[in-house]
Amino acid sequence: MKKSLKPYVFYLGIFIFAVGILLKFIFPASDGALEQLPFVLTGFGAGIIGVGVAAMIMKKRTEKDPQKAKQYEINEKDERNILIREKACYAAWYVTLFVLAAVTMALFVMGYNVAFCMVLGAFFIHIISMFVFIIYYSKKM
Protein backbone atom coordinates (compact mmCIF):
# COMPACT_ATOMS: atom_id res chain seq x y z
CA MET A 1 0.00 0.00 0.00
CA LYS A 2 1.12 3.55 -0.62
CA LYS A 3 2.82 5.38 2.17
CA SER A 4 0.24 7.35 4.10
CA LEU A 5 0.59 10.95 5.13
CA LYS A 6 2.44 11.46 8.34
CA PRO A 7 0.53 13.08 11.22
CA TYR A 8 2.90 16.03 11.29
CA VAL A 9 1.50 17.19 7.93
CA PHE A 10 -1.88 17.71 9.61
CA TYR A 11 -0.24 19.61 12.46
CA LEU A 12 1.75 21.69 9.98
CA GLY A 13 -1.58 22.70 8.41
CA ILE A 14 -2.91 23.77 11.80
CA PHE A 15 0.27 25.76 12.42
CA ILE A 16 0.10 27.56 9.05
CA PHE A 17 -3.60 28.26 9.58
CA ALA A 18 -2.91 29.73 13.04
CA VAL A 19 -0.01 31.85 11.72
CA GLY A 20 -2.33 33.27 9.05
CA ILE A 21 -4.94 34.23 11.62
CA LEU A 22 -2.34 35.68 13.99
CA LEU A 23 -0.83 37.81 11.22
CA LYS A 24 -4.24 39.30 10.52
CA PHE A 25 -4.55 40.35 14.17
CA ILE A 26 -0.93 41.51 14.54
CA PHE A 27 -0.93 43.60 11.35
CA PRO A 28 -4.58 44.67 10.88
CA ALA A 29 -3.87 47.70 8.68
CA SER A 30 -1.02 46.59 6.42
CA ASP A 31 -0.33 47.29 2.76
CA GLY A 32 1.11 45.34 -0.11
CA ALA A 33 1.97 41.67 0.20
CA LEU A 34 1.56 41.70 3.97
CA GLU A 35 -2.10 42.57 3.47
CA GLN A 36 -2.76 39.37 1.47
CA LEU A 37 -0.35 37.03 3.28
CA PRO A 38 -2.71 36.17 6.20
CA PHE A 39 -5.44 35.12 3.77
CA VAL A 40 -3.04 33.03 1.68
CA LEU A 41 -1.63 31.29 4.75
CA THR A 42 -5.08 30.68 6.22
CA GLY A 43 -6.35 29.17 2.98
CA PHE A 44 -3.23 27.07 2.48
CA GLY A 45 -3.37 25.84 6.07
CA ALA A 46 -7.06 24.97 5.74
CA GLY A 47 -6.30 22.97 2.60
CA ILE A 48 -3.56 21.02 4.36
CA ILE A 49 -5.89 20.39 7.32
CA GLY A 50 -8.52 19.04 4.91
CA VAL A 51 -6.02 16.66 3.31
CA GLY A 52 -4.88 15.54 6.76
CA VAL A 53 -8.43 14.87 7.94
CA ALA A 54 -9.20 12.88 4.77
CA ALA A 55 -6.03 10.82 5.26
CA MET A 56 -6.90 10.12 8.89
CA ILE A 57 -10.44 9.04 7.96
CA MET A 58 -9.06 6.75 5.25
CA LYS A 59 -6.55 5.26 7.69
CA LYS A 60 -9.26 4.61 10.30
CA ARG A 61 -11.54 2.97 7.71
CA THR A 62 -8.81 0.66 6.48
CA GLU A 63 -7.74 -0.24 10.03
CA LYS A 64 -11.31 -1.22 10.98
CA ASP A 65 -11.93 -3.40 7.93
CA PRO A 66 -8.95 -5.45 6.71
CA GLN A 67 -10.98 -6.68 3.71
CA LYS A 68 -11.49 -3.09 2.53
CA ALA A 69 -7.81 -2.36 3.05
CA LYS A 70 -6.86 -5.35 0.91
CA GLN A 71 -9.34 -4.34 -1.81
CA TYR A 72 -7.99 -0.77 -1.75
CA GLU A 73 -4.44 -2.06 -2.16
CA ILE A 74 -5.50 -4.29 -5.06
CA ASN A 75 -7.24 -1.34 -6.74
CA GLU A 76 -4.13 0.82 -6.31
CA LYS A 77 -1.90 -1.79 -7.96
CA ASP A 78 -4.33 -2.88 -10.69
CA GLU A 79 -2.81 -2.33 -14.13
CA ARG A 80 -6.09 -1.06 -15.59
CA ASN A 81 -6.43 1.58 -12.88
CA ILE A 82 -2.79 2.60 -13.29
CA LEU A 83 -3.31 3.00 -17.05
CA ILE A 84 -6.46 5.07 -16.47
CA ARG A 85 -4.60 7.37 -14.05
CA GLU A 86 -1.71 7.77 -16.50
CA LYS A 87 -4.06 8.70 -19.35
CA ALA A 88 -5.96 11.13 -17.11
CA CYS A 89 -2.70 12.78 -16.03
CA TYR A 90 -1.57 13.03 -19.65
CA ALA A 91 -4.87 14.67 -20.65
CA ALA A 92 -4.72 17.03 -17.66
CA TRP A 93 -1.18 17.99 -18.68
CA TYR A 94 -2.46 19.12 -22.08
CA VAL A 95 -5.42 20.97 -20.58
CA THR A 96 -3.07 22.82 -18.24
CA LEU A 97 -0.76 23.60 -21.15
CA PHE A 98 -3.56 25.22 -23.15
CA VAL A 99 -4.92 27.06 -20.11
CA LEU A 100 -1.46 28.51 -19.41
CA ALA A 101 -1.18 29.54 -23.05
CA ALA A 102 -4.60 31.24 -22.94
CA VAL A 103 -3.83 33.05 -19.67
CA THR A 104 -0.45 34.14 -21.02
CA MET A 105 -2.02 35.62 -24.14
CA ALA A 106 -4.81 37.30 -22.16
CA LEU A 107 -2.32 38.94 -19.80
CA PHE A 108 -0.21 40.08 -22.75
CA VAL A 109 -3.23 41.62 -24.49
CA MET A 110 -4.37 43.35 -21.28
CA GLY A 111 -0.91 44.82 -20.75
CA TYR A 112 -0.04 43.18 -17.44
CA ASN A 113 3.66 42.82 -18.15
CA VAL A 114 4.86 41.44 -14.80
CA ALA A 115 2.04 38.89 -14.58
CA PHE A 116 2.59 38.02 -18.25
CA CYS A 117 6.28 37.30 -17.61
CA MET A 118 5.47 35.19 -14.54
CA VAL A 119 2.91 33.07 -16.36
CA LEU A 120 5.19 32.79 -19.39
CA GLY A 121 7.90 31.47 -17.07
CA ALA A 122 5.45 28.93 -15.59
CA PHE A 123 4.45 28.00 -19.14
CA PHE A 124 8.05 27.24 -20.10
CA ILE A 125 8.68 25.32 -16.86
CA HIS A 126 5.57 23.27 -17.61
CA ILE A 127 6.84 22.36 -21.10
CA ILE A 128 10.46 21.78 -20.07
CA SER A 129 9.37 19.54 -17.19
CA MET A 130 7.75 17.18 -19.68
CA PHE A 131 11.02 16.73 -21.56
CA VAL A 132 12.98 16.28 -18.33
CA PHE A 133 10.56 13.59 -17.12
CA ILE A 134 10.61 11.84 -20.51
CA ILE A 135 14.39 11.59 -20.29
CA TYR A 136 14.25 10.54 -16.63
CA TYR A 137 11.68 7.79 -17.12
CA SER A 138 13.20 6.53 -20.36
CA LYS A 139 16.48 5.93 -18.48
CA LYS A 140 14.66 4.45 -15.47
CA MET A 141 12.67 1.88 -17.43
Helix/strand/coil percent split, the chain, to 5: 90, 0, 10
Residues 6+ apart with CB under 8 A from 44: 16, 20
Alpha-carbon span 84 to 73, nearest angstrom: 16
pLDDT, tens digit (0-9, with 9 covering 90-100), for 23-61: 888 877 777 777 788 888 999 999 999 888 888 888 888
Q: Are 98 and 27 in contact (CB under 8 A)?
A: no
Q: Helix/strand/coil (H, E, C) string of the chain?
A: CCCCCCHHHHHHHHHHHHHHHHHHHHCCCCCCHHHHHHHHHHHHHHHHHHHHHHHHHHHHHHHHCHHHHHHHHHHHHCHHHHHHHHHHHHHHHHHHHHHHHHHHHHHHHHCCHHHHHHHHHHHHHHHHHHHHHHHHHHHHC
What pLDDT is attached to residue 96? 86
- pLDDT tens for the 141 residues of the chain, in order: 455 556 778 888 899 999 989 988 887 777 777 778 888 899 999 999 988 888 888 888 878 888 877 887 787 787 888 888 888 888 888 888 888 888 888 888 988 888 888 888 888 888 888 888 888 888 877
